[in-house]
Structure 1
């Protein structure tokens, strides 16, 4: 349940209106809260601030903040559009969550609301001497915060939406998702036992991608009915009305309609994939950026080479050693989870680049170096797949490269020709 709330809160945080709304509420509370100083002994200690001086300062804030807020929104929309056009539309979800831009917009709108509310309250005699002094201090703090936020935001907006910055953002999101997958490859469930009768299954009530699986709810459901639930797919998989969503160990004594409803509530299905729960989606987004860069209309092999470097860094997460407290602890013993094949990670990361960059010797050389690097990871299956992909990529390039010297150089650098068998 906590994870479900967290997922929902994260989706809410992604909305552009959410943070400005919070800042507006805080601004209104701050403007009205200053009046409580009048009921204390602060009046005897503070100087008498004239209403006109505070109103002048608030008027300056209100007249400038709305204009700056509109400018901020326009700049952010331009940056978001640039990210979608120069990188991949899938990167929009990541770029739009930029905290610095959201904080800046929230601060500008919050300062505008604060100035309007405070001005109305001042002109209607809402504050006493102490209240006016506290409001004056609040106004100065707001003014200083706005200036500092604006300076920080100008530096941020100059990079937001640029291709290199977008690649870095996608890589960071992919890193978190992959790291979580490596620690918990079975979502804290247990491996497939092959003892469940696959004739008893529950179908999805929606068509789309599995976005999130509430393992806690499924475990409680399985314990309540003394059954074992076997997942047929993990987050990122596409399901339809006739595809089995889960298999059940038995149907005896079960209200299948109620069970189906509860299981579908626990497994969230949406029209798009989510980066947080889908370990392959970040790799796919990066490879899409590389494919676009390699298209004839753009012809930017340097970006594709940069993406290959990002992919290698992500694959080296499998080289990390985690403690027992960090790795999968099998806490959901009544839920069997399929293992996501390592092959699929390679296909998501490198197959599009291998296909679209087959006619570019620089890209193919960098790709072979990437395979050689990944082959050094202490993971036997990954080493074998790296060798296989090295051979496939070479044969793709062989069909596209016409200059013999380029092909000879690629053959010399290819992992598949330097190793007859996968390294142990």
Structure 2
């Protein structure tokens, strides 16, 4: 079996690294140390006599100013980012914090400020101990100017970003983007490159979960290789986002002529199980989080129906993208890569349950939200038959909730006029 991780596995690991605040600052710190020490190389190039003289005192003064200021700016950046994380958690939902942490601009800004501080400290130490000669001091002076320019540009860019980071609108847009990307990947490969399966257990030997948690990712390439090695076929039951526990089946194993060859522990290792659901591998989670943000906005403590109405527009955009026909070139990309695995596609009814149930429940007594919900569902009835049926079903459910929650007959009449006709 190949030890080279698959492309999907590499993407999964890189996304997890993006959610760690220490990765980029550590890399930039290492580069800063190398950059400061590399200036010494020019002292051996014999070009010192052609360069203007930079005194150690001038260089020390410049580096001292940068070291003192960068430490303060880095501390300010950390405090601002922590405040943005708290704002995202309280204004939107705690499930969105990982997206705010993964913001590239903020991570790059923090890395730049810390890297500039480390660069100045290392360079100060070298200059004070006579590590650099004429050419080295000139090179270090140029590097210092470059670092200062990068810091200034990054600071200006970061100030513009931090003013919006953690705000509700920015968080909703970020959730929409990651949900769009996850839906698009699943749309391009609805069965993850495997055979289509209906997800219903049909005999076979069970492959139980070894622990409690959510299925975060399935390493399809590894599972295919293991299935070929053990001469079995795998029918996946637990897609990413499924909560599993010991004794609950991840998959069923079919067709193995020698069951003794099955190593269930190795097969189960292809399923990445963790404590939390993830956006990039679980399209349904993004829909759940959007509905959760809308539900919080509709709570009596917040009372912000406008946010819920805006999220309904977001959900319509996502479902229209999900249901749009694929060009032939993109359909050809959905090749059968894993012939020993069966994967159930996402069900349209499940997607609608994730997206609209909470909003219909929490907004049942708010006429403007209920009206916009019916109009949104009505717009989705013009899609595929599966989408149209799911939209009509949720329209009827939303109407039933409004009948129970609303007291004014005129409001109920408005909702009935927009709701789909009963069968």
The TM-score, its normalising length taken from structure 2, stands at 0.95
- Displacement of 1:320 after TM fit? 2.9
Matched, 1:367 2:386: no
Structural mapping, 1:384-399, within 5 Å: 384-399=389-404
RMSD over equivalenced CA pairs, Å:
1.7
Q: 1:15 aligns with which of 15, 20, 44?
A: 20
Q: 1:107 aligns with which of 90, 112, 115?
A: 112
Partners of 2:200 and 2:376 lie apart in 1 by 40
Report what 2:415 is aligned to: 410
Contact 1:197 1:250 in 2 (8 A): no
Q: 1:78 to 1:325 in 2, by over 3 A?
A: same
Partners of 2:151 and 2:323 lie apart in 1 by 44
- Displacement of 1:16 after TM fit? 0.8
Q: 1:102-157 CA distances to partner (integer Å, 9 max, x unpaired)?
A: 11111110000000000000111111211111110000011111111111111111
Q: 1:342 aligns with which of 336, 348, 356?
A: 348
Structural mapping, 1:198-277, within 5 Å: 198-255=203-260, 259-277=263-281
Q: 1:197 to 1:171 in 2, by over 3 A?
A: closer
Q: 2:125 aligns with which of 102, 120, 124?
A: 120
- Displacement of 1:325 after TM fit? 4.4
Structural mapping, 1:11-90, within 5 Å: 11-90=16-95
The TM-score, its normalising length taken from structure 1, stands at 0.95
Q: 1:338-373 CA distances to partner (integer Å, 9 max, x unpaired)?
A: 222110100100000000000000001110111111
Q: 1:205 to 1:325 in 2, by over 3 A?
A: farther
Q: 1:255 to 1:219 in 2, by over 3 A?
A: same
Report what 1:316 is aligned to: 320
- Structure 1 gaps, min length 5: none
- Range with greater deviation from structure 2 (37-46 or 260-269): 37-46
Q: 1:401 aligns with which of 403, 406, 416?
A: 406
- Structure 2 gaps, min length 5: none
Contact 2:231 2:257 in 1 (8 A): no
Contact 1:228 1:248 in 2 (8 A): yes
Contact 1:189 1:332 in 2 (8 A): yes
Matched, 1:189 2:194: yes
Q: 1:156-215 CA distances to partner (integer Å, 9 max, x unpaired)?
A: 111001111110111111110111111111111101289986241111111111000000
Q: 1:214-237 CA distances to partner (integer Å, 9 max, x unpaired)?
A: 000111112222221111111011
Partners of 1:370 and 1:41 lie apart in 2 by 73
- Displacement of 1:41 after TM fit? 3.7
- Displacement of 1:318 after TM fit? 2.4
Contact 1:196 1:249 in 2 (8 A): no
- Displacement of 1:262 after TM fit? 1.1
- Displacement of 1:326 after TM fit? 2.8
Contact 2:197 2:343 in 1 (8 A): yes
Contact 2:197 2:344 in 1 (8 A): yes
Q: 1:2-38 CA distances to partner (integer Å, 9 max, x unpaired)?
A: 3323322221221111111111001001000111111
SS in 1 for 2:249: coil
Partners of 2:325 and 2:186 lie apart in 1 by 14
- Range with greater deviation from structure 2 (246-255 or 203-212): 246-255
Q: 1:270 to 1:196 in 2, by over 3 A?
A: closer
Contact 1:233 1:338 in 2 (8 A): no
Q: 1:266-300 CA distances to partner (integer Å, 9 max, x unpaired)?
A: 11111110100001000000000000011111111
- Displacement of 1:248 after TM fit? 0.8
SS in 1 for 2:215: strand
